[in-house]
């Protein structure tokens, strides 16, 4: 079945998505939707609960419907043209990946509520307002790709501050086929609320993830402040995930100062074997090659990576590690042999 979109027209112009239908768990939302008189209206808003299994918010105004055919063109159709029993919502536990339109400026309350299989979002540049509980129970959401430069204002602050779990943000200015120029990880954190005898609520945060999420100003990512968080300590955080954070900053050193790079490199050297094993587990061979190219792994770390490749039965990863081990041995200073002669 082709994608079907239900939407309403907004008073100030633009359209708000009410519901999407389709038989693929990977959904790309259109940049614009058909409007009155043959015009097109940018998709600027996701309605409340629009990707939840059940839509609980009543749409404001008349609901319009369009169909996206195999050629990608959108064609308006009467809402009653497709029987309700034939509509398959691209929502809830079915949804795995969503590409948001560049014109999107607002995400309504609980828009992705209970999308437990959602693992990736893509978004453009520009500000983004986010309602409450937008990503509630989206436990698998692990990556956000932004088709923007890292020094551009984006909706990343609104997204990361609504997700307390581990989240990776990558910047691809040239779009989905372009290269990644920067990547930043946001470790998970926990919020504890305690009520004092005076009925004052005290909020405490466990994990540095909360502090990483504060490194924004007016939608701009402050890389210096982001890197400074690592220097403050990370004893309560998952060491492997923090090492992956270090790896991303070293692999894509966008505005990375030498002092911060030194700290990242030192920590990565301690956890290099575990990082290699994590990359091998997800079959990220490009990432594994980038890790080996940093030459931050010592002999024991390379040996651990080799064992991880053998356990995974990944011959290509094993070959990459073996080549790195050979280069490390070749680069090691040769020990001079001493000879003693007794006459």
Per-residue model confidence as pLDDT tens digits over 1-40: 579 999 999 998 899 999 999 999 999 999 999 999 889 9
- CB-based contact 175:163 (threshold 8 Å): no
209/189 Cα distance (integer angstroms): 5
The confidence score (pLDDT) of residue 310 equals: 96
Residue 46: in which H helix or E strand, if any? Answer: strand 40-46
Q: How many residues does the chain have?
A: 343
Q: Report the pLDDT value the prediction gives residue 335, as an integer from 0 to 100.
A: 62
Task: Report the pLDDT value the prediction gives residue 48, as an integer from 0 to 100.
Answer: 95
Decide if 29 contacts 50 (C-beta within 8 A).
no
The answer to whether the predicted template modeling score (pTM) of the entire model surpasses 0.85 is: yes
Which residues pair with residue 76 across a beta bridge?
Answer: 66
Q: How far apart are CA 316 and CA 285, in angstroms?
A: 8
pLDDT at 201: 63
- CA dist 178 → 119, 181, 251, 291 (Å): 20, 9, 16, 21
CATH node for 3-238:
3.80.10.10
Cα three-residue angle 133-136-141, rounded to 5 degrees? 125
Q: What is the pLDDT of residue 211?
A: 95
Domain residue spans of the chain: 3-238, 239-329
Residue 326 CA, distance from chain mean position: 35
Q: Residue 154 in contact with residue 123, Cβ under 8 Å?
A: yes
Per residue of the chain (343 residues), give pLDDT as tens.
Answer: 579 999 999 998 899 999 999 999 999 999 999 999 889 999 999 999 999 998 887 888 899 999 998 888 999 999 888 888 889 999 999 999 999 999 999 999 999 999 999 999 999 998 999 999 999 999 999 999 999 999 999 999 999 999 999 999 999 999 999 999 999 999 999 877 666 676 676 666 678 999 999 999 999 999 999 999 999 988 789 999 999 999 999 999 999 999 999 999 999 999 999 999 999 999 999 999 999 999 999 999 999 999 999 999 999 999 999 999 999 888 767 666 665 655 5
DSSP 182-203: EEEEE---EEEEEE-TT--EEE
Quick count: other Cβ atoms within 10 Å of Cβ 257?
12
């Amino acid at each position: 079945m082709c994608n079907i979109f239900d939407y309403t027209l907004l008073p100030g112009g633009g359209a708000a998505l009410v519901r999407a239908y389709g038989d693929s768990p990977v959904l790309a939302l259109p940049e614009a939707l058909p409007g009155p008189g043959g015009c097109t209206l940018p998709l600027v808003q996701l309605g409340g609960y629009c990707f939840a299994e059940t839509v609980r918010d009543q749409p404001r105004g008349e609901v319009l419907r369009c169909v996206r055919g195999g050629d990608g063109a959108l064609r308006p159709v009467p809402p009653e043209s497709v029987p309700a029993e034939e509509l398959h919502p691209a929502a809830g536990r079915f949804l795995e990946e969503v590409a948001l339109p560049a014109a999107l400026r607002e995400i309504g309350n609980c828009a992705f509520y209970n999308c437990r299989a959602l693992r990736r979002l893509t978004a453009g540049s520009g500000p983004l307002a986010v309602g409450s509980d937008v990503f509630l129970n989206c436990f698998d959401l692990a990556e956000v790709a932004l088709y923007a430069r890292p020094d551009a204002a984006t909706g990343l602050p609104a997204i990361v501050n609504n997700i307390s779990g581990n989240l990776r943000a990558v910047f691809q200015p040239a779009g989905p086929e372009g290269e990644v120029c920067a990547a930043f990880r946001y470790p998970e954190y926990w919020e504890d609320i305690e009520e004092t005898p005076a009925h004052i609520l005290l909020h405490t945060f466990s994990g540095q993830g909360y502090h990483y999420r504060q490194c924004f100003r007016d939608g701009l990512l402050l890389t210096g402040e982001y890197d400074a968080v690592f220097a403050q300590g990370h004893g309560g955080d998952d060491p492997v995930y923090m090492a992956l954070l270090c790896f991303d900053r070293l692999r894509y050193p966008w505005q990375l100062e030498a002092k911060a790079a030194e700290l990242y490199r030192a920590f990565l050297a301690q956890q290099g074997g575990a990082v290699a094993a994590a990359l091998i587990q997800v079959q990220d061979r490009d990432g594994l090659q980038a890790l080996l190219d940093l030459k931050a792994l010592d002999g024991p770390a390379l040996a651990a990576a080799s064992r991880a490749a053998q356990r995974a039965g990944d011959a290509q990863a094993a070959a990459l590690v073996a080549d790195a081990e050979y280069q490390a041995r070749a680069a090691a200073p040769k020990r001079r042999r001493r000879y003693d002669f007794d006459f």
